[in-house]
Each structure stands twice: as C-alpha cells, then as structure tokens.
Amino acid sequence: MFARPTLLPLVCAACAAFAEPREITLVELIEALRAQGVGLVYSSALVDPGQRVLVESTDLEALKAALAELGLALEAREGVWVITRAVGANLEPPTAAGKRFATPVLENVIVTGTLHRFPHTGTAASHFGFSAEDLATLPTLGSDALRSTLRLPGVSSSGVSAKPRVRGGLQDELLVLQDGVELLEPFHLADYHSAYSSIDYLTIESLEFYTGGFPSRYGSRMSGVMDIGNRWQDSDYSTHLGYSTFAAFAHTRGRFGEQHPTDWLLSYRQGDLQDLTDYIDSRSGNPEYQDVSARLKTSLTPSLSLDGGIVYADDDIRFEDEEERAFSKIANTYAWLGAEWEASESLAGRATLSALDFNREKGEASFEADEEDPGKGGFLEYRQEVKRAALRNDWTRLAGPMRWEFGWQLEYNRAEYRQRARIDRGDLAAILGTPQEIERDLEASPRGWSGGAYLQLEADLSEQLTLQPSLRWDFQDYYCDRGSESQFSPRLGLAYWWSEHSLLRLSLGRFYQQEGIQELQLLDGETRFFKPQHSDQVVGGWQWRGDSLKLSAELYYKRYGKPKKRYENIFNPFVLLPEMEPDRVPLRPDRAEARGVDLDLRKSLLEPLEGFARYSFMDARDRIDGEWVDRRWSQTHTVNTGLVWRGDSYRLSLALVWHSGWRSSELPGFVAEDTVVPLVSVLNNIELDDYFSLDFSARKHWDFSRARVEIYADIVNVTDHDNLAGVDFDVEEVEGGFSLVPDRATLLGKVPSVGIILSF
C-alpha cells in the first residue's frame, strides 16, 4: 500500500517589507514576463514603447491591471497570452464603413515571439480556453485539472470519467496533446473509466479545448481536441510541496544561464485512488499510481530555441472480493526533443521528434459459476505493448491579411498483443444471444507507418469577414490484411463581425478517425483493424461580448460514416470485470448522427464575483439493424452553472450540474426457456433518473517573506445525491424459463478532498 509521507514543517521567517510601487514601461513589463517563460504576443499598434505603468510586482496580475488602465486586455489563446483591445474601448480611426469595431483582435504588426503558435482569432472553431487560475478555481474531483472540461456545453459526463465525451461522440474521439505530442492514455485508472488524469494542474499554463470545427493541424480524432501548454515559470515561487487526499507531490522549476537562458521543470506525484473507486462494487482495492516529468527549454539565439523532456506514468491497481478479482498494470513513457525558429519576420516553424512506449497488463477472474449458481465465471489475461517514433514539422507564415499554416507528421508504429481467456457468461448471455462459453488464445503483432500533412489559410477578406479553408491528408499502412489506407479531409470556416460586439461563425468539413496502432480490440476478440471512420460536421455559432458579459450560442450536426464495431456493457458499464460480464455485447452501427444546441453565458457580477450558466440540448443516435437507437450518453438536456468569488487571499467556487439521465437497457421480468431477446429491442430502451451534483471548492493562502502556505478543499456531490450507473439483473431459473429481477446500481456519492501546499 502506498505510504503517505509526513508533512514538512511549515516554518517561514517574515522579515521582508512589501515591495514599493515602481514605474516602468509597458514593454519592459512584458519583456520581464517573457524572461520568466510566459508566452506573450502583442501588436505595435496597441503597445507603444513610451507607455509607462505603475507596478508592485512582475506577474500576470500586474500586467492585467496595467493593461486595464490603458484600455487593453489579456486573453489566453492557443497556449499564449494575447494583448487585445478591451471590449467597449474606443477605436481610432473608424473603419471605412464608419463603424468602430472594438473587437479583441490583433492589429497588423506582430511583434516577436511564438510566431509558430500565433492565435488565429478569426477561426470558426468551437473553442474554449482555460488558464492556470481557471483550472485551480473550478471545483473538480480531487483537484483534477482536465475535469474542468466536463463543465463545458456539449460535454456528456456521469461524474466518473475525467475523459469527456464531446457532442455525442465516443470517448476515444478525443485527441490529447502536450509538448506537441499525442498522449495515448493521459489518465490513471485507464481500465476503469479513466477516473483521474495523469497531468497535475500545477504544471499546466493553459488548456485549449475544441469541441468542433477544429483546425486541420489536428487530425486522427473526430470530436474534440485538448491541447495542453506547460507552465515553465511561476512569478512568485519556484518550488511547491504538497499533500492531499489523493496525492503527495513536488514541483520545482527555475532558470539558469544568461547568454542562453534555460528553463527547467520537474514534477513528481504519487498517490492512492481508493476514494475514487466507489463506483466499482468491490470490497477491497489497492489503486496506486505515480507520474513524473522532467522538461527543459533553452534559447540559443533570439530566433531559435530548443525544448525536450521525458514523462512517465504508471498504475498498479488491484481489486478483489469473495467472488471476483482484477488487476491492471499500465506504464506509459514518452520523450521528445523540439526546436522552434523564426526564419524571418513572417515565417516560423517547429519540429518535434518524439518516442512513446506504452505497456498494459490486465487480468480478471470470477469464481461465481457453479451448478447451484450458474452465473459468470472463468478468467481473462491480456497484455499489450505499443512503441511509436514520430517526427512532426509545423510552419506558420504571415503575409499581410493572409495567415498560412502547413505541416506534416510521420510515425513508425509497432505493437504486440496477447490474450488468453476462458469465460462462462451464464444464462443471461444466452438470453441476449451472445456466446455463453468463450475460450481464446489470440496474438497479434501489427506494425507499420502512418502520418499526414495539412494546409490551412486564414484570410481577412474585409475588416469584418475572415475565411478559413483547409485540407488534411492522412495515411496508415499497418492494416496488414488490407494494405495501406489514405483519407482526405476538406474543411471550411467563416467568421463575420456583425457589429462591434457580435461575431457570427460557421464551420463545416470532414473529420477522419483511424484506429490507432494501440486500438486493436483484441481484448474483445477482434484480430483486425476496422476501416477508418469519418464524420461530416456543420457548426453555426453566434458570439456577443460586452463590458461584463459574454454570450455564445452554437448549433451543430454530425453525421458519421463507417462507424466501427464496438463493445459495450448495456446494463451497467461501471463494473469490476467488464469484459467477462454477460451483458458485454458487440454493437455494429451502419450509421450514426448527433445534433444539438450549446449556450454559454459568462457574467462579471461584482468586482470579485463571476458567474456562468450553460445549457445544452443533445440527440445522439446509432442506426443498428435498420433501427435508430439512442446512445447511452445522449444527455437530452444539460445545465451547468456556477459562481466564483476571488478575494485577495482566498477563492470560493460553487458549481451545479444537472442533466437528463443516461440510457440503460431493461429486460422483461420473465423470459421463456430457449428464447433470445433481440438486442435492438432492449438496447438503451429506458432513461435513468436525472443526474444532479452540487460541487464546492475553497482555497486560502498565507504569504510570508519568502514562502506561501495554501490549503484547499473540494467536495463533489455535496448533497450525496444517488446518481444511477445502470440496472443489473439477477437471473433466477423458474418453471418454463427465467425470472429477471432488476438491481439498480449507483455512481460516486459525496467525495471530499483536502490538501496543503508549501511554496517557496
């Protein structure tokens, strides 16, 4: 069992006086922050070298306050901070049409820095940005940063998984990137619904989340993109030591060198997730985990920098009771080396070489089946090893009103799979028409190349209208029995400023998703990859921004072609042995679609108080055997709302989520002997009770001369509301057939977590 360390003594001497305010130029403040590793982009039309500001410290909060005095603002976009004109500020001169567009866009001249990640403000993508402060403020289970995305419109969640389902899509339709590298399993408890992310929020500077119409530089997934930026420098403290309900952790970062400034970052975390696994009906468990990362970034010249690092995460999880046992061991390592350069004032590029090593070992055993109690029984053993080497090259070119993005990626993939199983699924499997007895001894060794290329143009056709056409091409040749596959994905985006506060957006295009080398479904007996899927998407949006109010609305439609065969537990998926359960069935839709409406309102109520309210309507369906069937996670109505109070030394937040209940499958109370119930007649034929969770978060810190002590607490599902996971069935043999008695299973109840951090 994981041994929790003792707390370090929190002894600090308070001997330094508060810093006196000083006057510097705005450019000096910006450059000081850049020297700390903060990515900043601004226009010389907005920032004048002669502008002077009064500051007490050198951090982002000081910059925000200084910009506000000048009618400017700071926004997080695609991993960098962008200085924009504050909404409502006067613009001189007016446009040619006589209008004054006080829109938060960059003007004409981009001044140095991070050109390859220039934020395309005219994009028609459905996009949300989170800063480090946002991730630390919103109430989430176990202070899990990636769970902040579960509160966004269009996201389906039952509170268990940290991996979002985006606009009716499957969980594997999400692309997660960090350091320019795709992460295969950035979640702990990956074999048990990915309940906790393996990325600590203290290492994150920004999180960009796309829910539709995303740029063509992102490929291989159909529904969403999560792009994570690293937090290289902390303006106040370089080292954080902490202890919480779920983890003990240490983070340290710093800088050395004057001629070639070099930033470094080290992070380590280990813990026990027993308190998060109540949704698994097991009497004892030992879910240990750890993750560690080391990163380095250096500037060789003003126009050339290098970065690299290595990240490792593992799970060692065991559960057991008198009738069932399960274990899961996962080790995930990736390393990378990157280079960024500015070839000229208008052309910049990045190259990233990366390697990934992923290993999974999984076992399941059930001791239920016998002559008196013919339930499930048997064992399953599974091993998976994946290795990948990849080279990626991205370019950005600015040419007046046109901005080009283009690039390519090439990967070599190799995997080894092995499964041995002997399973007896009992009478319930026979009722559903699936095999009762299964015996497997399977191996597979796919290997080969994959990659792609993309080209995207963003052109300002006028002062109000921006056009964004793009094209992506992908290929794979590790489909051993079919040779190589290739796909073309055309996409188009439009953005039109209707007025100084109102923006209209439209995006449409095709998005392909191939089964990755790591996604062969050998665990369920599949020995070949399925053909690439695709979705055709149309998204229309409207956005209005005022002095203290932001409002957006989007309508979307997604039509899926060639959906792959997948396996689901149709009664209750939150079980210890999902692959051995009698309700494990194959689903092979010939078509699928999702449609919906997303509304998002954010309001500054008082100076320290902010609120948000979000509503979503969703309808996601599969067509199976000619019948349209709701997907289990198709939340018809969803409401997310919350309040955040930011004080000088504390933050309080309260959030509520309510949504229509997920679907489940219900069998008749009696089934005659030798009768098979058609799957499509019962699949997701009932709606569970509505889901409800009231969540709370509080953080308080005390500053000393050279240190800070912070305590925090999160409580998820404060009211301990019984949210349903599904309906299991107890089978009893009676005269002439079987009696089926429903057994309602619940999800996580109230989950509190507390922690303390010493920063110095």
Cβ proximity of 502 and 543 under 8 Å: yes
Q: How far apart are CA 536 and CA 511, in angstroms?
A: 6
Q: How far apart are CA 235 and CA 257, in angstroms?
A: 18
Write the CB contacts of 26 (distance below 8 Å, at least 6 apart in sequence).
47, 48, 51, 52, 53, 66, 67, 70
User: How far, rounded to the nearest angstrom, does the alpha carbon of residue 236 sit from its chain's CA centroid?
Assistant: 28
DSSP 316-382: EEEEE-SSEEEEEEEEEEEEEEEEEEESSSSEEEEEEEEEEEEEEEEEEEEE--SSSS---EEEEEE
* φ/ψ bin of 151: left (φ > 0), alpha (ψ from -120 to 50), beta (otherwise): alpha
Give every residue of the chain whose pLDDT is below 50, as ranges.
1-19, 88-122
Cβ proximity of 453 and 444 under 8 Å: no
Cβ proximity of 179 and 670 under 8 Å: no
Q: How far apart are CA 189 and CA 279, in angstroms?
A: 12
CA distances from 185 to 52, 190, 201, 360, 712 (A): 47, 7, 17, 11, 28
CA distances from 38 to 79, 263, 296, 351 (A): 10, 11, 15, 21
Binning the chain into helix, strand and coil, the percentages to the nearest 5 are: 10, 55, 35
CA distances from 555 to 154, 168, 240, 479, 537 (A): 10, 13, 43, 36, 11
What is residue 27's predicted lDDT score, i.e. its pLDDT?
79
Write the CB contacts of 199 (distance below 8 Å, at least 6 apart in sequence).
145, 146, 178, 186, 228, 291
Cβ proximity of 726 and 571 under 8 Å: yes
User: How far, rounded to the nearest angstrom, does the alpha carbon of residue 259 sit from its chain's CA centroid?
Assistant: 37
Residues across the chain: 760
Q: How far apart are CA 34 and CA 58, in angstroms?
A: 11
What is residue 80's predicted lDDT score, i.e. its pLDDT?
63
CA distances from 693 to 138, 151, 600, 631, 658 (A): 14, 11, 19, 22, 7
What is residue 18's predicted lDDT score, i.e. its pLDDT?
34
Q: If 0-12 CB within 10 Å is exposed, 13-18 middle and 19+ buried, where does residue 18 land?
A: exposed
Q: How far apart are CA 650 and CA 712, in angstroms?
A: 9
Q: How far apart are CA 121 and CA 500, in angstroms?
A: 15
What is residue 94's predicted lDDT score, i.e. its pLDDT?
33
Tokens of 126: 């459905």
Distance spanning both ends of the chain, measured CA to CA: 30
What is residue 200's predicted lDDT score, i.e. its pLDDT?
85
**CA-wise closest residue to 276 among 245, 255, 252, 250:** 245
Q: Which stretches within 567-698 are classed as H helix?
A: 679-682
